[in-house]
Amino acid sequence: MDLMWGLAVVGAVCIGWILLKMLWTCWCGFTTFFLSEIWRVDLKKYGKWAVVTGATSGIGRAYAKELARRGLDVVLISRSNEKLQMVAEEIEAEYGRRTLTIQADFTGGGSIYPVIEEALRGIDIGILVNNVGMSYSGSFSQFLDVPDSELKISQVVNCNMLSVTQMTRIVLPDMVKRGSGLIINIGSEIGARPYPFLSLYCATKVFVRYISLCLDSEYRSKGITVQCVAPLLVSTNMTFNCRVNGLVKSASDFAREALNTVGYTNYTNGCVSHGLQASDAQEMLCSLSDGRRQSQVHEGLHPQLVNQTQPEVILLLDRVRREGI
């Protein structure tokens, strides 16, 4: 009888712990995605200016316009001067905010950063959005099959990793002096787990995730918030402008919802639909292999698993292109 009573107590404690974790998860999701719609952080408290990299299209352009709508002047940094001028004119006409444009190609390495640093000198930068990023020419492939791999590998590393590191180095010192600042690093849910045939892109997004979490821990006591935003599918050029639906967000809606989460969490999928999808992403990846191989996703991807998944991954890409899933 004592044994049965003891087992019952252990079972009750375990169930109670599971229920508490579920309630805590639900509460965190509710505050992050719903209460944040009502009680938004005033982004102007961080400073007068926001800097956005990759600001001429997609998520970067949407962040730039949303920040302007919320009362900040915006520094736009991107490769195309023509597109920079177009976005700057849109922001000034629609929101009456000041803009500054800096032309820079982030794929080329470290030579651009002294120029950017000089252009930003003396500007009251409260927010940095490290958005610029790229993948392999819009296709899945094995690492050695990437077209023009010597050049492409350097471009992806420079654009996705070096840009985050160097732009943070440039703006962070003044933020620390003021005791206030916000750095938003746009990562990807792909950085949360291994994805075959996107190996380098996946690895760069892991870097974005962990440098964000580490910097937030290091500098939070100095008044700096560092947030990593890890979206799933957003309708942009990188995702073939796939059709917007319940799972795929438009860039403007995503930027608005993601900015609402500032001050509530240092890591977010940006919107509630992406948060729900992310919770199932591990199961989706595991379903590409049989039950015997599922544990290998955690232990390291076996070559046989990679060969098994290739047809399914390619079919998924085709569906994204054709149907906008």
Burial class, 123, CB count within 10 angstroms (exposed 0-12 / middle 13-18 / buried 19+): middle
Give 65's strand partners. none
CA pair distance 184, 287, nearest whole angstrom: 32
Q: Which residues are catalytic?
A: 201
CA distance 133 to 39: 31
DSSP class of 231: -
Q: Report the distance separating Cα 172 and Cα 164, nearest Å.
A: 12
Q: What is the pLDDT of residues 98-118, one digit of tens each?
A: 999 999 999 999 999 999 999
| Interval 59-97: pLDDT, tens | 999 999 999 999 999 999 999 999 999 999 999 999 999
The whole-angstrom separation of Cα 301 and Cα 286 is: 11
pLDDT (0 to 100) of residue 306: 40
Residue 30 has a pLDDT of 62
- For residue 66, give the 3-state DSSP assignment: helix
pLDDT at 48: 96
Q: How many CB atoms lie within 10 A of CB 30?
A: 12
Where is pLDDT greater, at 323 or 74?
74
Question: In the numeric block, which tokens belong to residue 226?
Answer: 């560092």
In angstroms, the first-to-last Cα distance of the chain is 56
Which residues, listed in sequence order, are joined to residue 99 by a DSSP beta bridge?
74
Q: pLDDT tens digit string along 149-193?
A: 889 999 999 999 999 999 999 999 999 999 999 999 999 988 888
Whether the CB-CB separation of 186 and 130 falls below 8 Å is answered with yes
For 151, the token pair is 């050049």
Burial of residue 263 (number of CB atoms within 10 Å: 0-12, 13-18, 19+):
middle
Angle (nearest 5°) at CA 241 between 238 and 244? 125
Whether 298 shows a pLDDT value over 80: the answer reads no
DSSP-based helix, strand, coil % in the chain, nearest 5: 60, 10, 25
Greater confidence (197 vs 240) lies with 197
Band of residue 139 on the pLDDT scale cut at 50, 70, 90: low
Please give the Cα distance from 273 to 51 (Å, whole number): 27
- Domains of the chain in start order, with CATH, are 40-271 (3.40.50.720)
Q: Are 13 and 37 in contact (CB under 8 A)?
A: no
